[in-house]
Amino acid sequence: MIGSADPIRGKLSKLILGVRNRHFLTLDVLALLFIPALALTLRLDRLNWFSTCGRALALFVLVSLVVKVAIFYYIGLYRCYWRYADVNDLMLMPVAVSLSTGVLTAFYVGAHAILKQYELAMYRTVPLIDGALTGLVVGGSRSSLRVLYYWCHCRRNVRGGRRVLIVGAGESGAMVAHEMWANPQLNVEPVAFVDDDPVKDSVRVQGLPVVGTCAQIPELVGHYDIQRIVVALPSVPLPRRREIVALCESTGVDTYSLPGMYELLAGYKTVSYVPEVDVQRLLRRALIEIDHREVGAALRDATVLVTGAGGSIGSELCRQIARYDPAEIILLGHGENSIFEITLDLRLSFPHLVTVPAIVDVRDRARVDCVVKNHRPAVIFHAAAHKHVPFMEECVDEALTNNVLGTWNVLRAAERHGVEGFVLISTDKAVYPTSVMGATKRLAELLTVASARRSGRPYLVVRFGNVLGSRGSVIPIFQQQIAAGGPVTITHPDMRRYFMSIPEAVALVLHAFRMDRGGEIFVLDMGKPVRILDLAIGLIKLSGLEPGRDIEIAYTNIRPGEKLSEELFLDGEERQRTKHPKIIAATDGSVVEVEVLELLVMELVNLARRMNTQDISGWMQALLLQVCRYIDDYRPMPESLLPKLTGTPEVSGIGRRFAPSTSTMWD
């Protein structure tokens, strides 16, 4: 039965979509030709009236047809789009029918004596009966179209979408439910309302029940298997609205707050053309959940330092850490605006939390040491880094001093002042790097591992994939391009990357911190790499647009330093599962001595600082990549390269320790 109903519904929908006002005009004319005869039959309660009333009925039909069609047209019944009719449109029908009935009744009552002389008079009650029948036909045909359209189109393909609970059963809530029914491409299914108004208890709005009050939201979410909550309470005072939104968010379900239509029209609030990104749909895999109870126990009442606290990852780290009631958070960063914003955010969201902003460049060894010495953090999360691959190809000195020297400075301060935990945030671009940024992050990894071995403390590395939604990442760029009308630019159709959400990235960092190990590299099992092209197409479709028709996709060339695909592990790294099945721990296979590594880093940094006075940036890029490759491959330095290395004054110290496996870059 269900299978046979869909074709019938499809044919009805097609038929309904084809109905126009000219069809209603034809239907009205045909109906108005026969309705007077039916009215007269009802008035006389017999059928044999033609011989006595035929001429009078013919005149009545002619007069009523002219009057009614003229009034219907003047009122606007033939200008409405009836399948989208609202209350205002539907109110036109009784007005038009009442007015035409009144005109006909007045005419026949007033002209009764004259018409009677010519045997053309009509019973005075016939116009009233005719008006009632006309109202049934005119109103019924148009209302039926609206009902059939709603049944065939608005509720089609809604079942099975993400289950939605709507908070607020007023006009705004009803509008939300109607839009969900009317747009099956949203892939959402409104399930029920909640409302604090006792008058609305147990009633139905837009066909959905009001199942409780706002206080019952947590239990209703579980009972109805709710996957999304929409708060449609624009007229509720802001403090109360914030309480309700916080209650909804405490359930762990995606929560959206709807602005009022009057706020949009007045310009107090705006609606962005760029859609809210459903990360799970873009990733095409289930988001990885991590239990933070152990993390909470470790961070409670602890002093935590976050470098790069104003960045996308650093700021989210601070927000997550703040939930565990640490004693204080030191927000260290170089940009005063970003540090100001995260400080203000934390103070508003967590008014009892002690936050200490520290405007410090991690390259400033003395200032970093001073901050660590004064605050004695229990753990440092090191998120400060330059991350944009193309930019760092042109700014080798910035990449080296910030990503490598900065990490070294923070590590030395941590060791010197007894910091128990240290977590470096790295990237999959550090695995067999082909870019300056990747090479500097690989050197930062090596420094962290070396520091862990020397200190015996749980200093470790977390290696990220591309983080969806982080500042400067591909999603915000694509969103801006879509909002501008395109094109969406992709470097190569086969470009693939591992992706993770910001919550997943932060969860990986916090969970790795609780491993109580040292010198290891933790990686999230992100499934298969995703094509950037598929990501772009998915985001365009989420915007309600069609790739190639509404938004063009343009291909540029692969930028300097980029690879078609990334790797998560080096060949020499030993991998093993942790107690969380989706987190993998890798043991770094490098056996480079700590002193040699630190001396190498210092010589590279010194060389980078002299780059601006010597035209050797291209040579420096190649040197960085070859040094990382040599360390990771660990093969002896070819003796034949020693003269060429030592012949370059700036790298004579490096030449005695490391050399690339080939000499092409020196020739």
For each of the domains in the chain, give its residue range(s) and CATH number, in order of start. 2-154 (no CATH), 162-271 (3.40.50.720), 293-587 (3.40.50.720)
Q: Write phi, then psi, for 175 (nearest 5 degrees).
A: -65, -40
Three-state secondary structure call for residue 417: coil
pLDDT at 386 over 60: yes
| Cα 502 → chain centroid | 12
pLDDT digits (tens, 9 = 90+) for 317-353: 899 899 889 999 999 999 899 999 999 999 988 999 9
Of 35-44, 414-423, 459-468, which has the strongest mean pLDDT? Answer: 414-423
Model pLDDT, residue 655: 42
At 264, is the pLDDT very low, low, confident or very high (cuts 50, 70, 90)?
low
* CA-to-CA separations, 73 to 30, 70, 102, 164, in angstroms, rounded: 16, 5, 16, 43
Q: Which range is least confidently modeled, 259-273, 304-318, 509-523?
A: 259-273
The more confident residue out of 378 and 566 is 378
DSSP letter, residue 373: H
CA distance 617 to 374: 38
Lowest mean per-residue pLDDT among 77-81, 237-241, 268-272: 268-272
Q: Which amino acid is at 639?
A: E
pLDDT of residue 599: 84
Strand pairing category for 421-427 and 379-382: parallel
Give me the pLDDT at residue 529, please: 86
pLDDT > 80? residue 400: yes
**Confidence category of residue 636, pLDDT binned at 50, 70, 90:** very low
More confident: 20 or 167? 167
Greater confidence, 67 or 286?
A: 67
Q: What DSSP character marks residue 547?
A: B
The residues near 664 (Cβ < 8 Å, ≥ 6 apart) are none
CA dihedral 278, 281, 284, 290 (to 10 degrees): 40
The answer to whether the beta carbons of residues 514 and 324 sit under 8 Å apart is no
Query: Can you tell me the distance from the alpha carbon of 237 to that of 165, in angstroms, rounded to the nearest whole number?
Result: 21
Would you say residue 504 has pLDDT above 90? no
Selection from 437, 385, 431 nearest residue 408 by Cα: 385
> Does the pLDDT at position 299 exceed 80?
yes
CB atoms within 10 A of CB 194: 24
Q: Which residue did the predictor score with more confidence, 180 or 262?
A: 180
pLDDT of residue 657: 45
- Out of 74-83, 198-207, 369-378, 472-481, pick the least confident: 74-83
pLDDT at 656: 42
Strands (E) in 397-543, as ranges, are: 421-427, 459-464, 466-468, 488-490, 496-497, 499-501, 520-524, 530-531
* pLDDT at 640 (0 to 100): 40
Residue 539 in contact with residue 482, Cβ under 8 Å? Answer: yes
- Return d(Cα 313, Cα 501) in angstroms, integer: 10
Confidence category of residue 83, pLDDT binned at 50, 70, 90: low
DSSP 302-351: -EEEEETTTSHHHHHHHHHHHTT--SEEEEEES-HHHHHHHHHHHHHH-T
In the prediction, which pLDDT does 662 show? 35
User: What is the largest distance, in Å, between two alpha-carbon atoms of the chain?
Assistant: 131
396, 471, 472, 653 from 464: Cα distances, Å: 22, 15, 15, 33
CB-neighbour burial class of residue 90 (10 A; exposed 0-12, middle 13-18, buried 19+): middle
Among 85-99, 163-177, 587-601, which stretch is predicted with the lowest mean pLDDT?
Answer: 587-601
* Those residues with Cβ within 8 angstroms of residue 365's Cβ, 6 or more apart along the chain or in another chain: 409, 412, 413
Mean of the per-residue pLDDT values for the chain?
Answer: 80
pLDDT (0 to 100) of residue 267: 59
12 compared with 587, residue with greater pLDDT:
587
What distance in Å separates the CA atoms of residue 423 and residue 105, rounded to the nearest whole number? 89
Residue 3 has what pLDDT? 45
Q: What is the pLDDT of residue 376?
A: 95
pLDDT at 516: 60
Q: What does the pLDDT average to over 417-438?
A: 91
Q: How confident is the model at residue 425 (pLDDT cuts 50, 70, 90)?
A: very high
